[in-house]
Amino acid sequence: MKKIAAVLSVVILALSASAQKVIVRPVPVRPPVVYYARPYPYYNPYYYGGLGLGYTWYNHPAYYNNHPTKMEQGIQGIEDDYSDRINSVKADDSLTGHERRVKVRDLKHERDQAIDDYKKNYYKQYEN
C-alpha cells in the first residue's frame, strides 16, 4: 500500500510539474547605431554661399533681419509696464485674495485694451 501511495504521489507531482506553462519571450535587440563623419564640420547641403551675394539655393537671403519693429517694441513696452503693475498688485499684502484677483483681472483687461489701441493707432498713422 505504501508503494502504491508513493508511486501515485510521484506521478501526481510529475503531472503537476509538466502542467506548468513556460512562456519564452524574445528579447528585443536594437540595431547598432552608426555615426558617419561629416565631410565638413558645419556642412549644410541646402546652403549655397555662391559668390558672396548672400543668397541660398532657393533664392532666399542667407541672413535675416531679426530686429523688432517699432510696433513690436511698443507692444513689448506696454506688456512690461503692465507686468510690473500686476506683480506689484500680487505682492501687496494689504489686499485680500479676492481684491487681488479682481485687480489683476482688471489690469490684464486694461493691458489687452492698451495693446489693441496701440495697434489701431500704429496702423492709422500709415493709412495716409
pLDDT in tens, 17-57: 766 677 777 777 777 777 665 555 555 555 555 555 554 55
Q: What is the mean pLDDT of residues 87-110?
A: 95
What pLDDT score does 27 carry? 79
- Under a CB-based contact definition with an 8 Å cutoff, are residues 75 and 115 in contact? yes
pLDDT at 19: 61
pLDDT at position 51: 52
pLDDT at res. 11: 86
Q: Tell me the domain boundaries of the chain.
A: 70-125
